[in-house]
Amino acid sequence: MSESVHLYIKRNKYSFVAILSLIFMLIATYIEYLSHEAGDGQFVAFLISSKTWIGVFKEFSFALIIALIISWGIEESSRHELNETISKRMSEIQENVFASTFGRAINRAIISEVENLVLKADFVRSKHRAIYNLHIKNARDLDSNLREFDVVIADVTTSYFVKNVSGVARDFPVKIELEKPPFDELKDFVFIESVTIDGKELAKTDVAKGDEDAPDSDNFKKFEHTIKGIPPGAEVEVVNKFRGIKLLNDVEIWRSLLPSDGMTLIVNFPKEASKSGAHALHREELRLRTFNQASGMYEWAIDNAVLPHQGIVFWWRCGGHQVGRLSDAHSGVGTAGSPSKGKAKVAAFTLETRN
């Protein structure tokens, strides 16, 4: 019974404030009448006087405004205090849950990082796949005005499904960061060929706009296109095609900044590559699904869940070719199976989602 009364008062608190203001205003008016020591015959005249009602409405309005301000201030203060208490209790509960569930006293900063990267993610990927077709080409074949030196052309296709796991419709930004070549004269030959969303390829003007909307840095060509209003639980397929230019001896990192159910990498190495390999940036070993040593085709996979910033690093060495004035010391590749411990030049392609 007491709980229902309390709830009723809480829901109608502003009405009670108004009623109390009216009561006190009437009392003040009556006291004012008595102070004039008017006779009984003058009471009606006093009540219907315009001056009386002007005073009544002024007093009522003033009292009501003050009451509402005080009530609002107390409510806001109480709400702020309640939110702080709830936030503090939630943090304590989360730490206690980790401690009791896993038997580990995990630092709050680590828990926050897990929350931000995984537990609070609005989107997750599935069927994440990349195909790298690598072949050697002379720079003069790209532009007859260039000097002669060999580079590796990387024609890349990435594809994935992105799913909205939040409870409301969300925009998803398709972001590409494509490393610029180490040769200034070849920067114009790094480009995004196409972006396809749910089977519909973006118009060249849209691709150009996405390029303009994401200003390039000194080392990366950037692209961004927003997919509007993906409904909760809905999936969208994204396919990107682009071209990069790499060194004859080079390292590439393929990673995702979204949680994913796995990653599949197919690389067609140059036939001139004498050494190549790959390694998972993950707690699980990279699995070699299939390969053809004669053609240089290798397919690797991470079959477990992939967290943001995890991925696959792979490398190749075409030692029999020259790269102009660049020496092998810049290539960052050693013997087959592992990058060198020298100054590795790491090329990175990332598809990012930032909220």
Domain ranges of the chain: 2-102, 122-351
DSSP letter assigned to residue 333: B
Residue 352 CB partners (closer than 8 Å, separation 6+) = 173, 175, 177, 257
DSSP letter assigned to residue 247: -
Contact between residue 224 and residue 168 where contact means Cβ atoms under 8 Å apart: no
Place of tokens 């993906």: 230
Residue of 306, 85, 127, 123 whose CA lies nearest to 231: 123
What is residue 7's predicted lDDT score, i.e. its pLDDT? Answer: 59
- Category of 243 on φ-ψ map: left (φ > 0), alpha (ψ -120 to 50) or beta: beta
What is residue 268's predicted lDDT score, i.e. its pLDDT? Answer: 97
Q: How far does Cα 260 stand from its chain's mean position?
A: 14
What is residue 184's predicted lDDT score, i.e. its pLDDT? Answer: 86
Let me know if domain 122-351 sits in CATH 2.30.30: no
Residue of 340, 347, 337, 346 whose CA lies nearest to 275: 337
CA distance 250 to 49: 96
Contact between residue 157 and residue 192 where contact means Cβ atoms under 8 Å apart: no
Residue of 327, 317, 301 whose CA lies nearest to 269: 317
The continuous run of DSSP H or E covering 87 comes out as: helix 50-102
Where the chain has pLDDT below 70, the residues are: 1-18, 20-22, 24-61, 63-64, 67, 71-78, 87-104, 320-355
- CA torsion, ordered 162, 165, 171, 175, to nearest 10 deg: -40
CA distance 184 to 142: 14
What is residue 218's predicted lDDT score, i.e. its pLDDT? Answer: 87
Residue of 283, 278, 289 whose CA lies nearest to 337: 278
DSSP letter assigned to residue 286: P
First to last CA, the chain: 47
Residue of 88, 100, 86, 97 whose CA lies nearest to 119: 97
Q: CB-based burial of residue 109 (10 Å sphere; 0-12 exposed, 13-18 middle, 19+ buried)? A: exposed
Residue of 221, 187, 227 whose CA lies nearest to 206: 227
What's the pLDDT tens digit per position in 295-333? Answer: 999 999 999 999 999 999 999 999 755 444 333 322 333
